[in-house]
Amino acid sequence: MNDKTNAGLFERAQRVIPGGVNSPVRAFRAVGGTPRFIARAKGAYLWDSEGQRYIDYIGSWGPMILGHGHPGVLEAVRQAAEDGLSFGAPTEREIELAEAIVALVPGLEQVRLVSSGTEAAMSAIRLARGATSRSRLIKFEGCYHGHADALLVKAGSGLATFGNPTSAGVPPEVVQHTIVLPYNDVAALDAAFAEHGHDLACVMVEPIAGNMNFVRASVPFMTRLRELCTAHGALLVFDEVMSGFRVALGGAQSVYARLIPGFAPDMSVFGKVIGGGMPLAAFGGSSAVMSQLAPLGPVYQAGTLSGNPVATACGLATLREITRPGFFEALAQRTRALVAGLVSAAREADIALCGDSEGGMFGFFFHDELPQNYPTVMTTDKERFNHFFHGMLDRGVYLAPALYEAGFVSAAHSAQDIDLTLEAARQSFKALRA
């Protein structure tokens, strides 16, 4: 009755929650085994219901960039809660958060706050369609933009677990305006714009994709994408729900702006880090585009809990910490050390492995070279990844439970945590060879 083991809780959960989880990848279906039920977390660690400690490289899939239970964030949340959980009326804190986001992302003039990345991406395409009076949109295979119908096509990680390119329950008519192209394929981009450019509302892209492990858009691809959008009057929408405030303070767009002179997207979608672990997301762009939204313009969008006072306090406190001088340099350095250590530990065991990272986001592949697109990611030896995943889990390291997910390091991960992780990796790689 009061079984607190992971297996006991999983069995109980499955009676009242479909699959025992409230988001599919948590169920460990890709890697097999019993999901860990988390009792608490602090800093870089999670503890499951059996009291087992894990070094956490998921960080709630990105938001926990400061680690768990950061004192400044907890205090901000506590104070905000005392003042009221929700008002359904405007607050000064919403302005502060919007000002902070706009200040950190060049080219962004206005944002609207919502409660999830799904909601933000869905609203962004409605706005792009409303603002351009066009219907079609392009997305890329392996990029995930939340589970709104029009975007739930060949969408990477969660769906990949189940081998369906697209969810059931999405009628073909609903996705008839969604064009799916291979990632990093300039020729496919040229061809699609030649055919549909006049009718394209927007192109939505994960600039550094984190839902097919970790794959960067190449500079030639991104350059051409920007040129084509501008030439055809389609809006370039960066989905930075994962990469925003994670790969760099200015998001992946600041990374590409360094590589491509004058580069900026037309609209951006944020989530994860800007909520610091609470439900909060945003979409934004120029004032001209954003003024098409109700109450100013004809594109309707709303939310009872949008700009929630506790979530905005959590997000603001998180942004305050990550804007401290040197924050991203230190985070990036630790993340690079982890990836370099994994690669050399694999080499010691004569296992082909490559990896990449930007800021506090990373990926590694059982490949000789970094994959450039989803089909190549999917050629990874799944059995090998799953053995490695369980080897690490058994040794107290919690990696994402699927090979098509990125990983995340937080500011709370110490050099010693990285060392412990690499020792676990050496043993796990050795076990793979045995």
Ligand X SMILES: *Cc1c(COP(=O)(O)O)cnc(C)c1O
Which positions are catalytic?
A: 144, 239, 272
Residue numbers at the binding site for ligand X (CB under 6 A): 116-118, 121, 144-146, 206, 210-211, 239, 241-242, 271, 281
Find the residue with minimal CB distance to ligand X.
Answer: 117
Shortest distance (Å) from residue 280 CB to ligand X: 9
Residue 203 tokens, joined: 């192109």
Spatial CA neighbour of 43 closest among 405, 416, 302: 416
Cβ 207 vs Cβ 253: under 8 Å = yes
Shortest distance (Å) from residue 182 CB to ligand X: 18
Nearer to ligand X, 359 or 391 (CB): 359
Shortest distance (Å) from residue 239 CB to ligand X: 5
Residue 432 tokens, joined: 């793979």
Nearer to ligand X, 221 or 429 (CB): 221
Shortest distance (Å) from residue 8 CB to ligand X: 28
Nearer to ligand X, 146 or 355 (CB): 146
203 in helix, strand or coil?
strand
Write down the residue that tokens 């189940």 correspond to. 162
C-alpha distances in angstroms, 388 versus 7, 112, 166, 216, 241? 21, 41, 28, 24, 28
Determine the Cα–Cα distance for residues 191 and 356; give it in Å rounded to an integer.
30
Nearer to ligand X, 6 or 118 (CB): 118
Nearer to ligand X, 256 or 429 (CB): 256
Cβ 69 vs Cβ 43: under 8 Å = yes
Shortest distance (Å) from residue 345 CB to ligand X: 28
Amino acid code (one letter) for 7:
A
Peptide bond into 298 cis (omega under 30): no
Cβ 104 vs Cβ 318: under 8 Å = no
* Number of other CB atoms surrounding residue 185 within 10 Å: 17
